[in-house]
Each structure stands twice: as C-alpha cells, then as structure tokens.
Amino acid sequence: MISRILHSNDFAADAARAILDHARKAIAERGLFRLGLTGGRSPRAIHAALIAQAAGLPWAKVQLTFGDERCVAPDHEDSNYRVAKETLIDPSGIPAGNVFRMRGEIDPETAAREYEDMLRAFAGRLGEPRYAHDLLLLGLGEDGHTASLFPGSPALDETTREVLPVIGPKPPPQRLSMTFPLINAAHHVLFLVPQADKRAIAEAAVAGDQRYPASRVHGQECTTWLLGP
C-alpha cells in the first residue's frame, strides 16, 4: 500500500486529470469505473474541470457512490448529492441507475443499512467480498476527519458495518458515512486538499498521526494526497 503526496498549482484541472486517468484505465481493464465522490466545498470546481476534460468518456460505464452524506433532503443546500447533481450528474448525463445516492432524508439507520445492502448486492454480483471502488475521492477536515469520520467517533473502530449513521461537530451534525472497511477496500484513494492551511494536517496524516482519522485510510494499491500550491 503506497502513499504519495503531490502538489498542484492548477488544482481542479490536475484533480480532474487524475480522475480521468483512473477512469480510462478502469474502463479499459474492467469495463466499469466505480468512483466514490467526496462532499464539502471542494468538489464543485473539480467536477466542473472533470466535465470540461471528459469529452468522449462513456458515462454509461461509470458508477458513482458517495463517501458520506448529510441527513438532509437531496435538494437541501447542505446535501452532497445536490452539489454532485448540479455539477457532475446532470452535466454528464450519466444514467440515473449508475448513481447510488445515500438517502439522507430518511431515518439514518435505515438509510445506512439500505446503502450498505445496495453496495454489497452489487459487489456480490461481481464475486467481491465488499464493494471495491476503482477510485475513492476524499476530503480532509481541519480536525483531520475524512468522509464523516470525526476524531473520537465510535465509527472509527467499526470493523464490520460499511456505512453508519454518525454525529459530527461539522454542521449539519447528523450524517451518513462510509467506514474504514469500505473506504480501504478501494483500489485507489485520492485525497483532495486544495487548502494551504490543511497541508500540515495532511502531512501528519500521511506520516500516520493517529490523532487524525484520515491517517487510517489506505487504498489497496495507492493513496494519493493532492495538495494545493
């Protein structure tokens, strides 16, 4: 399991290029690109760059999941799905059946189990023990959280469940999150950290600083940290 840090002076374009490289490779090798999306503010610019560079990408061979979601309606301003719908799902024309949405608007435990069951069913059809993203995008919080796995959360120690309802300090507090067993089943993980004020936390996480949940993420093949200038 390799970890590497890359620096970018053209963050959204470089992130989009990395995503497309993985997409083309996965589609060539397996006929499908399973991409996990991250939440927060960063994705908007990256999704726009992805759409701008993705000419000719067969979106029917792309599958989208969400690493986490806030427990709000899908059209709520805090919804990670809403951001993705506006900036990636609608502009790409990806078939609706290829987008696996976490239903933040229903009971959180029900939504978590529903999502976990949906991914497990798909993985089962491929003979996989659990769903294996080709590329999972993740962000990093100022406290070292990733997805909605926050410092001190009992979800950090989960070894069986793949999606859990969680409470976090970053508003809105009620969320759904993939857990490390599912996150770390990804072939590749790409952390997207454009903010300069998070560089020290990113470097500490790469060095294994257990104060930061992000330090516990290890893609099966490679974990890349793309940092801003």
Token pair of 217 as six digits = 């993420």
Nearest residue to the partner ligand 6PG, using Cβ: 139
Phi, psi for residue 165 in degrees, rounded to 5 = -75, 135
For ligand 6PG, which is the closer residue by CB, 57 or 67? 67
For ligand 6PG, which is the closer residue by CB, 57 or 140? 140
List Cβ neighbours of 100 (8 Å cut-off, separation of 6 or more): 63, 64, 65, 66, 115, 118, 119
Q: Which stretch binds ligand 6PG (CB under 6 A): 5-13, 115-123, 144-152, 157-165?
A: 144-152
Q: For ligand 6PG, which residue of 14, 68, 158, 162 counts as binding (CB under 6 A)?
A: 68
CA-nearest of 190, 201, 155 to 174 is 155
Should residue 146 be labelled a site residue for ligand 6PG when binding is judged by CB under 6 A? yes
Number of residues that bind ligand 6PG (CB under 6 A): 16
| Shortest CB 146 distance to ligand 6PG, Å | 5
Binding mask 193-212 for ligand 6PG (x = CB under 6 A): --------------------
- Pure H helices in the chain: 11-30, 43-53, 80-84, 90-92, 108-125, 180-183, 199-206
Q: For ligand 6PG, which residue of 36, 104, 108, 141 counts as binding (CB under 6 A)?
A: 141
| Shortest CB 5 distance to ligand 6PG, Å | 17
Determine how many CB atoms are found less than 10 A away from the CB of residue 140.
27
In the chain, the N- to C-terminal Cα span, in Å, equals 25
